[in-house]
Amino acid sequence: MKTYTICGSMKFAEEMKHIANQLRSEKGYNVFECVYVEDISKLTAADIKKLQDEHYKKIDNSDGIYVVNINGYIGKSVKKEIEYAKKNNKEIVYYVNDINLIEFLIKAKISTYADGIKYKVPSTKPNSVDYHYAEDNYIYHDTYFGSKDFYGEEIVYFDNFPIWHMEYKGGVLNDESIDVYAKVLKPALKNVNSKLPLRGPKEFIDDDYKYTFETIGDLDSFKGIERIYKKDKLVYELICSGGNMEIKRVCDLLRKELYNNNYGYGFYCNGKKYKPNMNNGFDNEFYNLLLTIYKVQDPIDTMREKIGTCNDVVLVMKKILDEEKIVSKIWLLHKKVNNKVHTILTFNVSDKIVYLELTPQSNKPYYGKEIIYNKEDELKKEFQNQGYDVIDITNDIASGEYPEFSLKLLK
């Protein structure tokens, strides 16, 4: 069970109490709350020092802090608590709800590239074009390179901490179409989608031009494609992706080890690698070895040999996440119709449940991609609707042991 210490201004005492109860009931977290003082003027300096020391001890005994930043407000005391948490490698989760971020993004998007030069700033990199917009504790910065063809990145900071980003790449498909930037693209971007403010609206029409923007995902993880047509002929295209920065950081950390090293499917036992031979279809001999001699590998062996089953790969992921002090769970998916099993891992970052599929035998459309849920129940329901039993095996899977959690279903 993950433990957080609530940090926030006393003027939000009632909100902090409510949020703490939500974290306990909806997320299952253990939550340390501060002492809610109605009138701090009645406390002596010694009383205040004692309360501060007790609060920092709570942070010491927590996995992270949960910063209640209503309307973006963070006071001096909370800023010190954030610095203390950073110094001690604690996770920092901000109560930056999507409504606040969406409202800020709408203002930033309309005011920068789409508007012209008001918020254009000097280049931060050689030959870059930069826009900068700030409001309260939020900062938006857009940097791109190129003209006819271009690429760039938008980053949103909260209290100088990066919380959201979007990478994009696009351009016109011929020299004659470069006028679409001023004539269609900027007006479309001024009509940013109010629910998911990434680019422009789903559709925007101006005389012979038609602008479209299609997306999948949400603010935490998304991909999109933007197109402009002139008399039904495609003249411009852009692709973009992005989301929550902390989720990206952790996913990239896992991809660096597993995706980039192209782990193979099989297992390592007694100094020998065993791999299935799929040339003639299903390899019964390999399958029988999985049922008889295979034991869950030590993550060190898996990382050295670059081979493993889904059981071994999720333990590598768990090892990496444990080193980052990120809570994770391991799940067994059992499809009753064909009696097949698969092991996956989820982890908790920024108050979201993230499922990143990196097992070598996974279906390619999902390989290396993250899926984000607000609650564990959402993930369970999704797989249950596909005919799976979803079983928490976090405490059952162990290196050097036979995978009894799956063998009892398969034999």
- Give pLDDT, residue 185: 95
- Give pLDDT, residue 176: 72
Residue type, 297: Q
Q: Token pair for residue 244?
A: 């929550």
pLDDT above 70 covers a percentage of the chain that reads 96
Contact 134, 140 (CB under 8 A): yes
Mean pLDDT of 304-317: 94
pLDDT band for position 366 (cuts 50, 70, 90): low
Give the DSSP H/E element, type plus range, for residue 39.
none
pTM above 0.75, yes or no: no
Give the SS3 label for residue 299. helix
- Numbers of helices and strands, H then E, in the chain: 12, 22
What is the per-residue pLDDT across 103-152, written as a single tens digit (0 to 9) for each? 999 999 999 999 978 899 999 999 999 999 999 778 999 999 998 999 99
Cα torsion for 300, 302, 303, 305, to the nearest 10°? Answer: 120
pLDDT band for position 164 (cuts 50, 70, 90): very high
The residue whose two tokens read 């295209």 is 237
Q: Cα–Cα distance between 133 and 308 in angstroms, integer? A: 47
The pLDDT mean for the chain works out to 89
Beta-carbon contacts of 39 under 8 Å, excluding residues fewer than 6 positions away, are none
pLDDT above 90 covers a percentage of the chain that reads 55
Q: Cα–Cα distance between 133 and 142 in angstroms, integer? A: 9
pLDDT band for position 98 (cuts 50, 70, 90): low
Mean pLDDT of 47-76: 87
Query: For 307, which DSSP code?
Result: E
Mean pLDDT of 205-234: 92
pLDDT of 362 strictly over 70: no
pLDDT band for position 199 (cuts 50, 70, 90): very high
Lowest mean pLDDT, pick from 53-57, 318-322, 363-367: 363-367
What is the per-residue pLDDT across 74-89, written as a single tens digit (0 to 9) for each? 788 898 999 999 899 8
Contact 219, 242 (CB under 8 A): no
Q: Cα–Cα distance between 128 and 151 in angstroms, integer? A: 10
pLDDT band for position 363 (cuts 50, 70, 90): low
Residue type, 363: N
Mean pLDDT of 376-386: 93
How many other β-carbons are positioned within 10 Å of the β-carbon of residue 233?
11
Beta-carbon contacts of 87 under 8 Å, excluding residues fewer than 6 positions away, are none
- Give pLDDT, residue 219: 87
Cα diameter, the chain:
81
Highest mean pLDDT among 105-114, 357-366, 401-410: 105-114
> CB-based burial of residue 45 (10 Å sphere; 0-12 exposed, 13-18 middle, 19+ buried)?
exposed
**CA–CA distance from 385 to each of 116, 145, 340 (Å)?**
48, 45, 16
Mean pLDDT of 343-369: 80
Q: Cα–Cα distance between 146 and 181 in angstroms, integer? A: 13
3-state DSSP helix/strand/coil percent for the chain, to nearest 5? 35, 35, 30
What is the per-residue pLDDT across 225-249, written as a single tens digit (0 to 9) for each? 999 999 999 999 999 999 888 888 8
pLDDT of 51 strictly over 80: yes
- Give pLDDT, residue 411: 64
Q: Cα–Cα distance between 24 and 305 in angstroms, integer? A: 41
**CA–CA distance from 283 to each of 134, 275, 279, 309, 337 (Å)?**
59, 9, 9, 15, 20
**CA–CA distance from 245 to each of 89, 177, 241 (Å)?**
17, 34, 12
Contact 36, 17 (CB under 8 A): yes
- Give pLDDT, residue 113: 95
Mean pLDDT of 177-192: 90
Q: Cα–Cα distance between 353 and 370 in angstroms, integer? A: 10
pLDDT of 365 strictly over 60: no
Nearest CA-CA partner of 295 in 193, 215, 207, 407? 407
pLDDT of 364 strictly over 70: no
Q: Token pair for residue 322?
A: 């444990």
